Structure 1
Amino acid sequence: MVLHSSWSICLTRPLILLSCTLFLLRCDLADAFPSCRLPVVGRSRPIAQRPALSLFSQVDTTSMIQGAEGLDVKNLKPVVLCPAQFGTQRDYEDLQKTLLKRGFNLYPAPLSRLDWLKIVPSTLTKEFFTASLRPSKTLGFFYSALDRAFEQVEKDYGVDVEVAVLGHSIGGWVARSYIAEVLGEEKAKKRIRSLVTLGTPHNPPPKDSIVSAVDQTRGLLSYINENFPNGFPLDASAVTCVAGKGTVTPRGLMDVISKVGEKLWDEKQRRSKLLEEIVALASYFPLSGKAFETEGDGLIPVEVAVLAECRSVIIENCNHAAFVPTPGKSLRLPETYEWYGTESAVDQWIQFL
């Protein structure tokens, strides 16, 4: 089944490009595709040995969601996580451990790869083609996963505990929608302590840009911004938008192709600056209307990731994610590719949870 171009461009283009980058960056494909018999060139970071998850794997929410075995959770502050597109709980295990050391108990929404396919029927509707999709109908699978995460929090802490919500990438605006549509104003202000978004594309391209006519979320983001501006029903002071400056695109095309040999591969960093620039150019342009001389986390420009009336935290040398989803285990990027979940980055936004 082929998805309509607007939705697929918005949500899968950057992942496809980044996946290509990872292939060229010599990632260990055997971790994602155990049946592959490609020679292992090297591994960027140690990965625990466990059976690879398939696209259809069932998620064990009981064992994975608590993340604080042997500790009294009452001494930890609960945080519900809205993952990035195609993200699962296992993709955030390192972040879960990092937050645990800092006194927070992370509850990722228990999504499997298969769950994400539930968005496909929405691409075949009139609302999709008229860019009038509504979150409550389109994101029901995500809402259900968040319901389960909140239920686990209540089981561990009781129904009156205050909860922080953390949204990564599109999970940030899904969180805004869930808080408003599912929890509602009264419950949200009583139960939600804070909302922190990491590299979330909150803003559409400027109206005078050549890409503004294409609503890449087919109405979802427009609806959220019009009805739930600046994190409503939460006070703007309770919302923090974190943006990264991991990749600044060149001034022009000649700068992209200049010194290709030097930028193609950095053996020490285990990265390719050239390919990172190409990925950023391809992602920044449809999101902001600008390609060159644009700062962002490699996928999301800074100006797109912040809300005008909310607190902003801009982190230098911070990229979008430490993983790229596959039908099996996610591909891991090198440790030199720092992201929002790197400990030094976490320390810059954790105070706002």
Structure 2
Amino acid sequence: MAIGNMRLFPKLLLSCTILLLQTEIVDAFKPCQLPLVGRNHFQKATPSLYAQLETSSQSQSIQGVDLKHLKPVILCPAQFGTQSDYEDLRKTLQERGFNLYPAPLARFDWLKIVPSTLTKEFFTASLRPSKTLGFFYSALDRAFEQVDKDYGPDVEVSVLGHSIGGWVARSYIAEVLGEEKARRRVRSLVTLGTPHNPPPKDSIVSAVDQTRGLLTYINENFPNGFPLDASAVTCVAGKGTVTPKAPMDVITNFGEKLWDETQRRSKLLEEIVALASYFPLSGKAFETEGDGLIPVDIAVLAECRSVIIDNCNHAAFVPTPGKSLRLPETYEWYGTESAVDQWIQYL
């Protein structure tokens, strides 16, 4: 859920903390509690904000389905995302004729990025994707190998990138596949809530490269999805959270915004998360449209196709060291069926 290297861990911790506090704060006003019964497990209460996701490994074999009738799609997950986090999306795509192959990343694979934060390149904002994101590249290699095993080495694939997985996909396609293979093997690239753009140059946060050079390198060397044609790239952005016009508007109607029992959500805390995320990404916190983490303007590339989805949020899950926590079904995201139907034609 966090974006890039410097903002990698702080933003994730901020978002997760607020979302987890949402459970604790809201339950403090309700008769039922959500007691902790283990290091990574929560006892289920009714009603509860979250339902835990299963973490069993996903099998790429599909019983009773002829793979010839399903088009392969390789998924670059969001930061700390795992295969099981996208199980519902896999089923949704399968029903629509696609076979999803998430890059087989483990939650703690992301710790392999830590050594890069101790280098000269980190402090001079000159990190390179191939060195910093090698663990992600290796996982994508394995996903391609599985596709080749199931379909043969010449089949075309679509690449789907969620959150920062979108710009990891861009760098992998360019650096690992290369121009000739990319144009031959990759049919399309679709990104979901990916922070493609740096803050505007006239913003007060533009001086700090929060990805420590990664995104700058990608945009300078692989603009608009190069080596793919821009027409093969689709950027999907969500408008699930519009921040208030002014600071005092945050606490307007405080009681109503604190908790909506019907939606099982807190608009107040969703706005706080959005304010904290939109500002470092765009230099603007208030009166900004986005998916709750990524502003719309940051998620689209100028020369590529854009799909803007109303009432669409960043993710349906919050990663934890154990099992991911599922957000309420009312918290629609890019993988919700109604949202999928707005971008699936571009796979």
Same fold (TM over 0.5): yes
CA deviation after TM superposition for structure 1 residue 113, in Å: 1.1
The DSSP-based 3-state class of the residue aligned with 1:100 is helix
SS at match of 1:223: helix
Per mean C-alpha deviation after superposition, the further-off stretch among 112-121 and 225-234 is 112-121
Q: Tell me the CA shift for residue 33 of structure 1.
A: 5.0
CA distance in 1, matches of 2:325, 2:282: 27
Q: Residues 125-274 of structure 1: matches in 2 within 5 Å?
A: 125-274=119-268
Q: Mind listing any 5+ residue stretches in structure 2 that lack a counterpart? A: 25-32
State the distance in 2 between where 1:65 and 1:237 align: 32
**Percent identity between the two aligned chains:** 78
- What residue identity is the alignment partner of 2:298? V
- State the Cα distance separating 1:36 from its structure 2 match: 5.2
SS of the counterpart of 1:95?
helix
What is the aligned partner in structure 1 of residue 294 from structure 2?
300
**Structure 1 residues 180 and 267, CA gap change in structure 2 (3 angstroms):** same
Residue 57 of structure 1 corresponds to none
CA distance, structure 2, for counterparts of residue 31 and residue 246 of structure 1:
30
1:20 Cα offset (Å): 2.5
Aligned counterparts of 1:350 and 1:15: Cα–Cα separation in 2: 28
Instruction: Indicate the residue corresponding to 2:20 in structure 1.
Output: 23
Cα distance change, pair 35–110 in 1 and its aligned pair in 2 (3 A): closer
Deviation at 1:17, TM superposition (A): 2.9
Distance 2:14 2:254 in 1: 18
**1:200–1:230: structure 2 CA closer, same or farther, 3 Å change rule?**
same
Deviation at 1:122, TM superposition (A): 0.4
C-alpha contact 1:85 1:171 (8 A) present in aligned 2:
yes
Note if contact 2:159-2:169 (Cα within 8 Å) is conserved in structure 1: yes
Cα pair 2:49 2:265 within 8 Å, conserved: no
Cα RMSD of the aligned pairs, angstroms, is 2.1
Corresponding position of 1:345: 339
AA at the equivalent of 1:285: F
Cα distance in 2 for partners of 1:286, 1:73 equals: 43
Assess, with a 3 A threshold, how the Cα gap between structure 1 residues 24 and 179 changes in structure 2: closer, same or farther.
same
Aligned CA distance change for structure 1 residues 140 and 232 (closer, same or farther; 3 Å):
same
C-alpha spacing 1:37/1:268, structure 2 compared with 1 (3 Å): closer
Matched AA of 1:70:
G
Q: How has the CA–CA distance of structure 1 residues 213 and 326 changed in structure 2, closer, same or farther, with 3 Å as cutoff?
A: same
Q: Are 2:19 and 1:14 equivalent residues in the alignment?
A: no
Aligned match of 1:310: 304
Corresponding position of 1:287: 281
Counting only pairs closer than 5 Å after superposition, residues 45-194 of structure 1 correspond to structure 2 as 60=57, 64-66=58-60, 68-194=62-188
How many Å apart are 1:24 and its aligned residue?
Answer: 3.3
Q: Residues 187 and 9 (structure 1 numbering): CA distance in 2 closer, same or farther, change over 3 Å?
A: closer
TM-score (structure 1 length as normaliser): 0.90
User: Structure 1: which 5+ residue stretches go unaligned?
Assistant: 1-5, 54-59
Q: C-alpha offsets along residues 191-227 of structure 1, whole Å, 9 cap, x if unaligned?
A: 0000000000000001111000110000000000000
Are residues 90 and 210 of structure 1, via their aligned partners in 2, closer, same or farther at CA, if it must alter by over 3 Å? same
SS of the equivalent of 1:25 reads helix
